[in-house]
Structure 1
Amino acid sequence: MTIFSALASFSVVAGLMTIVPGLDTALVLRAAISGGRRHAFATALGINTGVLVWGAAAAVGVSALLTASQTAYTAVRLAGASYLIWVGAGMVWRTVRRPAGTSAAGSGVTPAAAPGPSTLPGAGRAWARGLLTNLLNPKIGVFYVAMLPQFIPADAPHLPMGLLLALVHNVEGMAWFTLLISGTHLARGLLAGDRLHRVIDRITGTVLVGFGLRLALSAE
């Protein structure tokens, strides 16, 4: 297997994984609707940073601990599940705590202090949320440690090749996220309004809690 053929083959697998709806898609869409393009792209960059970390870890064999050690896998799984439940429950709680129809502009408080979904996290926080969500998902690590070695030619250096494969996944992921974010931006007129943002946060929060519970109860 040549480096070119390895990249071409992996791009097909990574592309299919990218377009399958999942947690990453839910986070980016929520950020695009509630926070705008800047926060959505920051979330996408955080997710892709996590992909690079997993790619490097898989290339050097670090993430093999997730498959070799049940204790390590369980620790990461429970940490990831707790984080998802905490973030999702926080989204739902803020929509319950904040009265319907109120907004930062008309509530008598500054936007930075206003509760609820109109209190948009900074781009750095959005990036960190995307990164942590990706890193605390052990199934991503298992995918990489299971798939990446198959696409690393025998004569290729493992770490650079692993990062190159992860970069291919990044490019495809960012292209997909850009389509989602651009489509959401074009429909911003239909998606505007505090009430809709509350509904979106409740749905996204419920999805995150669901992912967290599923991850926590998963035996694998």
Structure 2
Amino acid sequence: MINVTLFIIACVLLIILPGPDTAIVTKNTVVGGRNGGFQTMIGSCIGLAIHTIAAVAGLSAIIVKSAVAFTLLKYVGAAYLCYLGVRTLMNMRAKKMDLEEEPIETMKGNSYFKQGFITNVTNPKVAVFFLTFLPQFLAPNSEPFWSFLVMGIIYSVLTFLWFTFYVFLLDKIRNFMKRPATQAVIESLTGVVLIGFGLKLALEKSNG
């Protein structure tokens, strides 16, 4: 691998950019506390691990080159993001009607994990990212299998560390973020952002 330091810096910059994973982790940390945030983060990281394995095995190349596979996965991911966005907006509306009701808080623990996992693993842009970003750091005449594997692990670990810090930070200011007015703004923005990411994903064109 060429220039490990440069690769790590590039990964960090890409990881901290807000995306669907960040939106889901933010929402579930605010409504479910540290536990909800960590379960969502673990789901996202396992999704990344699957994308890493797929890239190493060459499956991601099939998804990227196959218009049918790309489109199918794209619409599944887009529909799920839009579903989460609409559900977030509906939950916010329900809270306005009954301030004592907190429907998201009663969500089963593994639902946080599933939201993080499905959001990540059904995003074909992650597969595209792995196949376009990682090869730039391959050394000439190097073995792609082990290089991709190491880079994928590094990216997943950095993602885990960033979201660990992010969840702890959100949990520290959760009391402020749990105020009705603050939470209404956060959930409104999160719902709109998730729907926006879903629509953007749905309009994403296949490279095949």
TM-score normalised by the chain length of structure 2: 0.86
Amino acid paired to 1:210: G
Q: Identify the match of residue 175 of structure 1 among 161, 164, 167.
A: 161
CA radius of gyration, larger in: 1
Unaligned runs of 5+ in 2: none
- Deviation readout 1:171-204 (Å, 9 max, x if unpaired): 2112211222122122123123455434433321
Q: Identify the match of residue 191 of structure 1 among 154, 157, 177.
A: 177
Contact 2:176/2:182 (8 A) holds in 1: no
Of stretches 90-99 and 210-219 in structure 1, the one that deviates more from structure 2 is: 90-99
Q: Does 1:30 align with 2:18?
A: no
- Deviation readout 1:65-96 (Å, 9 max, x if unpaired): 12211121111111111111112111212222
Amino acid paired to 2:133: M
Contact 1:103/1:194 (8 A) holds in 2: no
Partner of 1:36, secondary structure, is helix
Name the count of aligned residue pairs: 205
Q: Does 1:53 align with 2:50?
A: yes
Distance 1:89 1:54 in 2: 27
Which residue of 2 is the match for residue 214 of structure 1? 200
The two structures, once aligned, show a CA RMSD in angstroms of 2.2
Amino acid paired to 2:88: M
| More helix, by proportion | 2
Residue 142 (structure 1) shift = 0.4
Percent identity between matched residues is: 31
Contact 1:117/1:201 (8 A) holds in 2: no
Residue 169 (structure 1) shift = 1.0
Contact 2:7/2:137 (8 A) holds in 1: yes
Residue 99 (structure 1) shift = 4.2
**Aligned pairs for 1:43-192 within 5 A:** 43-104=40-101, 116-122=103-109, 124-153=110-139, 154-156=141-143, 158=145, 160-192=146-178
Unaligned runs of 5+ in 1: 105-114
